[in-house]
Amino acid sequence: MDQKADAVIIGSGINSLACAMVLQSRGWRVLILEQAEEIGGAVKTGAYTAEGFRHDWAAMNLSLFAGSPFFQRFQDDLMAAGLGFVPAERCFATAFGEDRWLGITNDPERNLHNISAFANNDAETWRALSDQFPARAAHIFALLGTPFKPLPLAKILWRLWRKEGTRGAFELLRFLLSSPRSWLEDSFESPELRSTLAAWGMHLDFAPDVAGGAVFPYLEAMANQSFGMVIGAGGADTVIKAMSSCITRAGGRIVTETTVEDVLIEGGRAVGVRLRDGRVHLADRAVIANVAPQNLAKLVGEETPDYRQKLKRFRHAPGTMMIHLAMEDLPDWQASPELRQFAYVHLAPDMDQMARTYQQAKAGLLPDEPVVVVGQPTAIDPSRAPEGKHVLWMQVRMVPGAIAGDAAGQISARDWHTAAEPMAARALDILERHAPGTRAKIIAQKIVTPDMLEADNPNLVGGDQICGSHHLSQHFLYRPMFGRSDGSTPIERLYHTGAAVWPGAGTGAGAGFLLGQKLAS
């Protein structure tokens, strides 16, 4: 039996590390147990293709982290521990083919110029949205940063009503319930602008017609214009390295290659964990599980059957396939050479295609025209590759975790081991159409399929990088279920955190930060 800690934390993702730092700031002794060889969950960086090329395994965009309440509180400690950001002025764009493209930068006037090329009325609407953003964002970020419990929620709603009045409050509520398509079609004339913004919904399980998804394209667009985008200096793992350094320097322990078999429960109270090898770690004050709900159900055994059933019913988003490329050079984008300077280029030409892709993936089909996200981190941070070389970070969104067929009728494989190469070729064909000659620049590649993502990190069930759908029935006070959005469980001293818990996915460390504050108060 190992020495006791105040908190034993299962999993070393960004929310675990954030929670640990908050608890340590209040004098708690923390022990973090990670089943993988490397900490960080979906936020890690490695030479996955060739020596000298550093690729972000899953998460690349660190803007949510840089703007988070957690970072605001621990900024000095993290920067002293080596955390580094690289700002991107040209944030995201969509290529439509030939000479048609639209990009959003951190320069409002440049954005207005780009948008007016498609529709002057849209430029005026964009200006109005930009002017309104500070006031509206204050309400939205307050909502996203609060525990979804009656008292704090009531305070936010009261402040909203006092500032905006009944009409303004209900307009914001309508917006929060809107689908990307309904908001975008109500707001803009240009199909190109609509598609450029709607592509962000696909990062978070919000196809164009899914209610509740409008807020994410809105926030990405307005926040990128207002604050720019940041990526990690040398890789996204800069945040993990800095956080783990802070934790270990303060006396915390992080143990890798250690699988937790079950949570020890005595008299309805969590008292520790048992490892697969039989060893036991006891916890004086809390056991904190940063795991997918279905995996938490396994850890608690036969305790609280109703709670276990609700955990098992938690729904996951479709999967993602990653393609990491070591490159001789960046793509020569047909639409404009300026696209080489953007952090992200989306290949998602219209909302109808995005909606079709989503439905195909939900039905278990390999999409015939998947949404392809092309990250160009070395356009922003050349240190990630040997001099003059580059890396591409490609997400194929969305794909099924389990393959039932191929929407194009061309791929016969029904398992990812054999479907990986032809599906990657389909995505690279799309890239090649927009940037001819890209294939000839590839030095090495690594394809990461949904089952590989889950094998590496069991929280990514079926390759779901956001650890659970964010649809309205499973978001806000319903994430992961009604009454448990604050990380509490029916088992005393057992707590749940991670992307499956409010406020959900992303690199903002919100769930871990909120839980740490709750426990340390």
Look up tokens 């550093």; give the residue: 54
State both tokens at 214: 């409008």
- Cβ–Cβ < 8 Å for 279, 2: yes
Omega within 30 of 0 (cis) for the link into 398: yes
Report phi then psi at 330, rounded to 5: -70, 160
Give the E-state strand segments of 276-340 in sequence order. 280-289, 319-327
DSSP character for 348? -
3-state secondary structure of 274: strand
Domains of the chain listed by start with CATH number:
5-85+235-315+459-520 (3.50.50.60), 107-223 (no CATH), 316-456 (3.90.660)
DSSP bridge pairs for 32: 9, 254
- What mean pLDDT, rounded, does the chain reach? 95
Residue 147, pLDDT score: 79
- Measure the CA–CA gap between 220 and 43, rounded to whole angstroms: 20
- Measure the CA–CA gap between 507 and 267, rounded to whole angstroms: 36
- Measure the CA–CA gap between 403 and 398, rounded to whole angstroms: 12
Q: Which residue has the higher pLDDT, 154 or 59?
A: 59
State both tokens at 365: 């089909």
Q: What are the residues whose beta carbons fall under 8 Å from the beta carbon of 26, sequence distance 6 or more? A: 520
- Cβ–Cβ < 8 Å for 137, 222: yes
- Measure the CA–CA gap between 393 and 379, rounded to whole angstroms: 12
Residue 170, pLDDT score: 82
R_g (Cα) of the chain, nearest Å: 22
Residue 118, pLDDT score: 95
- Measure the CA–CA gap between 226 and 235, rounded to whole angstroms: 23
Confidence of residue 2 (pLDDT cuts 50, 70, 90): low
In this structure, the number of other CB atoms found within 10 A of the CB of residue 336 comes to 15
44-53, 144-153, 298-307, 335-344: which range is least confident on average? 144-153
pLDDT over 90 percentage in the chain? 89
Residue 3, pLDDT score: 65
Report phi then psi at 408, rounded to 5: -90, -10
Q: Spell out the alpha helix ranges (H) of 346-415.
A: 351-362, 377-380
301 has a pLDDT exceeding 80: yes
Nearest to 224 by CA among 376, 344, 106, 60: 106
CA neighbours closer than 13 Å in the CB half-sphere of residue 144: 21
Mean pLDDT to the nearest integer, 160-181: 85
Mean pLDDT to the nearest integer, 256-265: 97
Residue 88, pLDDT score: 97
Mean pLDDT to the nearest integer, 162-174: 82
1 has a pLDDT exceeding 60: no
- Measure the CA–CA gap between 501 and 467, rounded to whole angstroms: 9
- Measure the CA–CA gap between 257 and 383, rounded to whole angstroms: 30
Residue 164, pLDDT score: 80
Q: What is the pLDDT of residues 474-517, one digit of tens each?
A: 998 899 999 999 999 999 999 999 999 999 999 999 999 999 99
CA neighbours closer than 13 Å in the CB half-sphere of residue 339: 27
3-state secondary structure of 2: coil
Q: Amino acid identity, residue 72?
A: Q
Q: What is the pLDDT of residues 461-479, one digit of tens each?
A: 999 999 999 999 999 889 9
Q: What's the length of the chain?
A: 521
Confidence of residue 406 (pLDDT cuts 50, 70, 90): very high
- Cβ–Cβ < 8 Å for 48, 452: no
Mean pLDDT to the nearest integer, 14-22: 98
Residue 139, pLDDT score: 79
Residue 138, pLDDT score: 83
- Measure the CA–CA gap between 514 and 333, rounded to whole angstroms: 42
Look up tokens 């969104």; give the residue: 397
